[in-house]
Chain A
Amino acid sequence: MTNTISVHGLRKRYGDVQAVDGVSFEVAEGEFFGILGPNGAGKTTTLEIVEGLREADEGEVELLGLKPWPRNSRLLPRIGVQLQATSFFERLTAREQLRTFGSLYGVSARKADEMLETVGLTEKADERVEKLSGGQAQRLSIACALVHDPELVFLDEPTAALDPQARRNLWDVLRAINTEGRTIVLTTHYMDEAEVLCDRVAIMDRGQILRLGPPAALVRGLDAPTRVSVASGVLAAEDARRLPGVDEVTDDGVSLIVETRDPSSVVAALSAKDALDGVQIRGATLEDVFLELTGREYRA
């Protein structure tokens, strides 16, 4: 099977900033691929080079077997793009906006209206784009990317301006589109979003991909401790340290946190001491992966 996207050795420099510094990855057909990283990591630059909006200083990109640079009009109808900054024709309503974009791809007005419904903007159909909230504008922008049923969809921080409820709704939309067999590439700085949505994630920082793989595998591959916490006071910290399999214990006055690589023994021991009040068990997340890889706390 050929890859839908193959990227090899991308580099891009802006003045003193090496925005992308040797990025390679491949995305298979139907895959949901995420690029995760803090602001300034180089996600947008990478994505825009792949889409054909920017020219790489170095490296190769192929989409669906075609080169995106220079502007390739055979490729354009097959890809859908939502850029990080929403951009619309001025003073059109949401419906007119989507119909206009649709018409650029030969999509009927009816089809465009259906897409408005898909992203949940039917009620705002007659609202001017300038009057939409950040989240609504974002959804309209995504609708513009999807209106022509592209095989390959690029979304740059699609949920950035959304409230939690809207984010979850959008996740559903994206999952449904992916289930139809479309390939999706999205960038995000939300760890949970990458974990929940993506088949594979590339963790990016300072222009480089630090690690690439399915989120669960990345977390598992990490030798990171599980944190078991109970209400502060149910057990003294010294006692907790003597439990089997304990690496480290901290008590911040609210919770007693036990770090362990053997959570089942710790929980069993706590249970034996009848010290399970308010117990919470938190496994490693992509955040820990990032910390491990960069030595820095993850701050989006």
Chain B
Amino acid sequence: MSNFASFKSLSRALFLGFRRDRGALFFTILFPLLFLVIFGGVFGKQSTGKVEVVEIGAVPVLDQAVAHDASGDLRKTVKLSRNDDRAAALKKVGKGDADAAVEQSGGKIVVHYSGADQVKSGVVQAVVQQVANSANLAATGRPPTYTVDGQRVEDKSIKGINFFTPSLLGWALASAGMFGASQTLVLWRTKGLLRRLRLAPVPIPTVFGARVVVSLGIALFQLAVFLLVAQLPFFGLKLQNAWWMSIPLVICGVLTFLSLGMLVGAWAKTQETAQTVTQLIVLPMAFLGGSFFPLDYAPKWMQVLSYVFPLRYLNEGMLNVMARGLGPTSALPQMAILLGIAVVAGGIAARLFRWDAT
């Protein structure tokens, strides 16, 4: 008999089982979408406010301007930070983590900005120009002939939706993958389906392969739904050049979360245990792995902690190709890490695997 025929019919059976499970449908498809609508709708529209400017070394002109910023307009518009490592500062701009880097040597001020975000780079240039002009004027010792009232520019560059689409999807995938795998494994074991399948002439990898393929199919469907919804004018997601890298990224992520779910399912004796443990992993992971707010704004300890969560790597890779507009290769390290975790977790799960509940 053909393993492929078994594989096909098992996949079909498992897919039907999923499609008829209203709870699973809700939590896998609708619930995350609801989050996208809320987060994307409420926070997505909000501009991120300040432009972030990195000073490379000392930039006295800017520092003085901020120090004498009586009206506070400048501080409302610009968030200054300093990085003496020129290459690192430029890299930050390139990645979109900062909007511009400014360096000053004597009377010359250089603004490094990224062309990816024209509005913000425009703001930065205008601000620096204005600061320089004021400084020039002050240097002449004459009162200004004209005064400029600084108006905050409504920037539309990094919309929240660029962040929320990939990162909420990451949470949805982690949740669906881990719950799906752990529940299935425990249920099959406690209900005796595993032992029944053990007596059928089908290789066990075929059975689990079918389960994985169904999960991957569902995950790609989730991705498609998220991307389509987020691109509606109301949310206004714009796909970046390398967005298609999200497909292999999602696949790697799902494999990781399935492995982790299998690990929990292989270890847990009852469904309740599996459910609780999975929840205890998924929720903190979603928060601390950067699914609900950008890690860039998180405190340092949180950023460090985030590295233990597999979801962090999925989110990071997704943000690289979907929000930061980086090239396709920018997601490769994250994919490699995800696959590595999948292999290790899958290996442990296989060692813990039991056919029988007792």
Contacts and interface: CB of A to CB of B under 8 A. Distances in A.
Interface of A: 51-54, 71, 73, 76-77, 79, 81, 83, 85-92, 96-97, 99-101, 103-106, 128, 144
Contact of A103 (B5, B21, B187, B198): B5
Contacts, number: 77
Given A104-B197, A104-B202, 5 more contacts: A76-B199, A76-B200, A87-B193, A88-B191, A105-B200
Interface stretch (B10-18, B238-246, B284-292): B10-18
Given A103-B5, A103-B6, A53 B198 contact: yes
A130 to B, nearest CB: 10
A292 B196 CA distance: 37
A89 B9 CA distance: 12
A53 B6 CA distance: 21
Q: Which of A83, A90, A96, A106 has the most CB of B within 10 A?
A: A90
Q: Is the interface of B mostly helix, strand, loop or mixed?
A: helix
15 contacts: A52-B199, A76-B200, A83-B192, A85-B191, A87-B191, A88-B191, A88-B193, A92-B13, A92-B17, A101-B200, A103-B8, A103-B9, A104-B1, A104-B201, A104-B202
B23 to A, nearest CB: 11
Contacts of A105: 1, 200-201
A89 B14 contact: yes
A100 B6 CA distance: 8
Q: Which of B16, B187, B356 has the most CB of A within 10 A?
A: B16
Contacts of A91: 16-17, 20-21
Nearest to A84: B192
Nearest to A78: B201
A96 B16 contact: yes
Contacts of B17: 89-92
Contacts of A89: 13-14, 17, 193
Nearest to A79: B199
B174 to A, nearest CB: 23
Contacts of B203: 73
B2 A106 contact: yes
A54 B195 CA distance: 10
Nearest to B6: A104
Q: Which of B17, B191, B201 has the most CB of A within 10 A?
A: B201
A90 B16 CA distance: 9
A103 B9 CA distance: 7
Contact of B21 (A90, A97, A104): A90
B28 to A, nearest CB: 15
B192 A85 contact: yes
Contact of B196 (A52, A81, A103, A106): A81
Contacts of A83: 192, 195-196
Interface string B1-41: 11001101110111011001100000000000000000000
B1 A77 contact: yes
B199 A81 contact: yes
Nearest to B202: A104
Contacts of B200: 76, 101, 104-105
A141 to B, nearest CB: 9
A220 B16 CA distance: 55
Contacts of B195: 53, 83, 87
Report the 8 A-B pairs with minimum CB-CB distance, sorted nearest first: A106-B1, A103-B9, A87-B192, A76-B201, A91-B20, A87-B193, A100-B13, A104-B200
B199 A53 contact: yes
A154 B21 CA distance: 33
Given A92-B17, A103-B6, A73 B201 contact: yes
A96 B20 CA distance: 13
A90 B356 CA distance: 18
A185 to B, nearest CB: 14
Contacts of A76: 199-201
Contacts of A90: 17, 21, 187
Nearest to A68: B199
Contacts of B191: 85, 87-88
A96 B355 CA distance: 24
A51 B13 CA distance: 26
Q: Which of B12, B14, B200 has the most CB of A within 10 A?
A: B200
A234 to B, nearest CB: 55
A128 B13 CA distance: 12
Interface in B333-347: none
Interface in B197-216: 197-203
Interface string B242-269: 0000000000000000000000000000
B295 to A, nearest CB: 38
Contacts of A73: 201, 203
A85 B14 CA distance: 21
Contacts of B21: 90-91
Interface string B178-190: 0000000001000
Nearest to B192: A87
B9 to A, nearest CB: 4
Nearest to A14: B358
B199 A51 contact: yes
A128 B193 CA distance: 16
B13 A77 contact: no
A79 B201 CA distance: 10
